[in-house]
Structure 1
Amino acid sequence: MSQTHRLQQKIDAHTEAVSTFLAQLEGWCDDADIHPGVAGPVGLLMDEWLTNLVMHAYRGAGGLVEIEVEAPSPDRLEVLVRDWGPAFDPTHAREPDLALSIDEREPGGLGIHFMRRMATHMDYVRRGDANELRFGKAAATAKLGD
């Protein structure tokens, strides 16, 4: 890959639009020869975050979501997701207590916990009325034993 590949999309925050976008992202990653160890996790991260926007930010009523995905190389993706729901910073959300049994835990929080663990980096900023979540994923390049 000699050039940076970009995917920009605006979707309405509904389950069907999320599914359509995820299929488009998968095809775009295939066309750009993105490393499967990056493309797969980014698809899961996007699925989790966009589903959260549908359910929590827009409460099923729909709303604008802007998505930008950039591939500076085949082994790295950078993502920006912008929405106009209530302010919510997932980088400061409380960690779930994983020592508790599922019956003892409060509902929620596992998806964001999963996202923070899977992404290489994650940053949030509120710009005016918009939430901006940036995250990236890079393929592991270190060899065992190094």
Structure 2
Amino acid sequence: MKKIHVTTKINGDTVEFLCDPRETLLDVLRDRLGLTGAKEGCGTGDCGACSVTVDGRLTCSCLMLGVEAEGHEIGTVEGIADGEELHPLQKKFIEYAALQCGICTPGILVAAKNLLERNPDPTEEEVRYWLAGNLCRCTGYDKIIRAVLDTAAEMREAS
């Protein structure tokens, strides 16, 4: 099968790669580009472990073909930190112990950051609604919700 050349931006950097027409964006990110933060939990878009942003829109990378990334801007969990400095959201997840096994954490971080970019002052209900597409079997969600709400408050105070 002929490979297709794709040029896209990932976490702010222009990236070129070759991929099979049927290869998912998740597979490209993990297997071709070494960006292993996004995980395959279900392969059907139900768990959110593979969440990335595409042009600022939250997307399950297991449901998108790699060739569809052409000309778009992709954001992954690897792009959340600013170099060696963790994003406030990442710091709060550590502070609140809002992670355990780590399978869902990257997708939840991407989704939560996307929420805070759209709505810097979410209610608890809005956070729960926004993260409803991200399944976690370990934490029980309370610590995650508290970490997101505290991050939002801290970021508002800092601005």
Q: TM bucket by the smaller chain?
A: under 0.3
More helix as a share of residues = 2
Higher relative contact order (CA 8 A, sep 6+): 1
What is the TM-score when the length of structure 2 is the normalising length? 0.25
More strand as a share of residues = 1
